[in-house]
Amino acid sequence: MQTVWADGAYAGKLIQWTKNNCQWELVIVKRLKDAQGFKLLPKRWVVERTFGLIGRYRLLGKEYEATLESSEEDIQIAMINLMSRRLA
């Protein structure tokens, strides 16, 4: 991973922290100030779509796990399942 996209809520110290600790570029996708109503923002929809797809998995619908590692594994299983269906 080289680039991470985030919305304006993650601006600030996190940009430099991400660069120093992870060697990733954090790009903030901001909404235009003069935009009215719904406006599709580049790259941001990818994250929202992914969250929507992950939310379809019953295992991830609620947080039942006791450790962060098991939650990460569940997300990886869901994404492997999703990608294998797309490749088939």
Contact (Cβ atoms closer than 8 angstroms) between residue 6 and residue 28: yes
Q: Round to whole Å and give the CA distance between 32 and 39.
A: 9
Answer yes or no: pTM beyond 0.75. Answer: no
Amino acid 39: pLDDT: 72
Q: Characterize the bridge pairing of strands 3-7 and 25-29.
A: parallel
Amino acid 80: pLDDT: 92
Q: Round to whole Å and give the CA distance between 86 and 88.
A: 6
Q: How far is CA 24 from CA 11, 68, 76, in A?
A: 14, 22, 20
| Residue numbers of the chain with a pLDDT score lower than 50 | none
Q: Rg of the chain over CA atoms, in angstroms? A: 16
